[in-house]
Amino acid sequence: MSTDSTLLAAHWAQVRGRVDDACRAAGRDPAGVSILPVSKTFGAGVIRAATALGLRRFGENKVQEIRDKSPLLADCDIRWVMIGHLQTNKVKDVARLVDEVQSLDRMELAEALHRRLQHEGRAIDVLVQVKTSSEPSKFGLPPAQLPALLNTLRHFDTLRVRGLMTLATQSTDAAVVRGCFRRLRELRDQAAQAQGHALPRLSMGMSGDFALAIAEGATEVRIGSAIFGSRAAPETADSHV
């Protein structure tokens, strides 16, 4: 895939401007909200062009894509972020290649990651993905199970828990979508007040709903096609961008 660097730079500036506008509309400092470029389905050439804009963190849905792209971009100092649903049989590559997992959603996965990271001699940042939507296609830890998982994760020194992540309901009703984001913020606040967990990061909001997420306290939004252009591959029901 050929990459128009000028167009890519324009898209990035547009997206950053829209995020900044949403922050100001919500009465927030734009410096408090970062953008995670989601590079799933885009080739190494596109990502390399993005690094020329100063971007270094890239979100991917599939471990296979990270494994394929990493050798081609070894000189770019990229920090891969896993945002898709993660099977335990993929943790070997994750522990070796990934700098952050935003889709930690169950104890079994935490234990598998911890063991493999011990073997690799590494530690990574993680966000716990919580299911705030009633849609069956959405992954995430049930909210009632969050306190127990957070308490257990305190004993896993390879997993640095930085915050929470969620996917909102796909709906044209802004109140429904916003309610998913509000729920995540409330869960974060409850964890801090009741258990003393410091969870500064809330990864929530994508291309179509990031303004609502920012209004509810998002510290990071995940945006893909608005930066990189249209994808050749179809989106899944559990899209993270």
Residue pLDDT, tens place only, 37-74: 999 999 999 999 999 999 999 999 999 999 999 999 99
Evaluate if residue 159 carries a pLDDT over 90: yes
- d(CA 59, CA 38) in angstroms, rounded, equals 4
Q: Note the pLDDT of residue 3.
A: 62
- Segments making up each domain of the chain, as ranges: 5-228
- d(CA 173, CA 165) in angstroms, rounded, equals 21
Name the pTM for this structure. Answer: 0.93
Helix (H) or strand (E) holding 203: strand 201-203
Is 158 strand, coil or helix? coil
167 token code pair: 């996917």
Q: pLDDT digit string (tens) for 173-231?
A: 999 999 999 999 999 999 999 999 999 999 999 999 999 999 999 999 999 999 998 87
Q: pLDDT digit string (tens) for 81-140?
A: 999 999 999 999 999 999 999 999 999 999 999 999 999 999 999 999 999 999 998 999
Q: Note the pLDDT of residue 132.
A: 97
Q: Note the pLDDT of residue 177.
A: 97
- d(CA 115, CA 71) in angstroms, rounded, equals 25
Backbone dihedral angles phi then psi of residue 46, each to the nearest 5 degrees: -65, -45
Evaluate if residue 1 carries a pLDDT over 50: no
CATH class of residue range 5-228: alpha beta
Evaluate if residue 166 carries a pLDDT over 90: yes
